[in-house]
Amino acid sequence: MTPEGAIKAAVKRALKALGPDMYAHWPVSNGLGAPCLDCHFCWRGLYGAIETKRPGGVPTARQEETIRQIAAAGGIVLVISSREGAADIPRILEEASAARCDRDPRS
């Protein structure tokens, strides 16, 4: 398994740990259509995307633009480059869900 493959496997385990109400889609990139990140998910009404990188890796310029667009639309974007980062995903999403619930629904 490649270093990035190990990170992807850790991210998949972390997302699965969030239970059956986690929807995660890992599109197969073939160079056609709109750019996307490695994983797109929806959980408790939160939409987000995850880009996995080998340790020390950083998103490409095209990925950075996709990240910017998702964040501008209100989505959550995570760039994960370690197993520790993957293990933090449930905590990060729990906090984002709680913050979302604390906001005034009229805003």
- DSSP lists the bridge partners of residue 25 as 40
In a domain, 94, yes or no: yes
Number of domains composing the chain? 1
Residue-wise pLDDT tens digits, 15-52: 999 999 999 999 987 777 778 999 999 999 999 999 99
The reply to whether 63 falls in a domain is: yes
DSSP 28: P
Domain containing 56 equals: 3-102
Instruction: Please give the Cα distance from 78 to 12 (Å, whole number).
Output: 13
Check if the beta carbon of residue 41 is closer than 8 Å to that of residue 16: no
Residue 36 placed within a domain = yes
> Is residue 107 in some structural domain?
no
In this structure, the strands spanning 39-43 and 76-80 are unpaired
Residue 105 has pLDDT above 70, yes or no: no
Look up the pTM and report it. 0.89
Report if residue 92 sits inside a domain.
yes
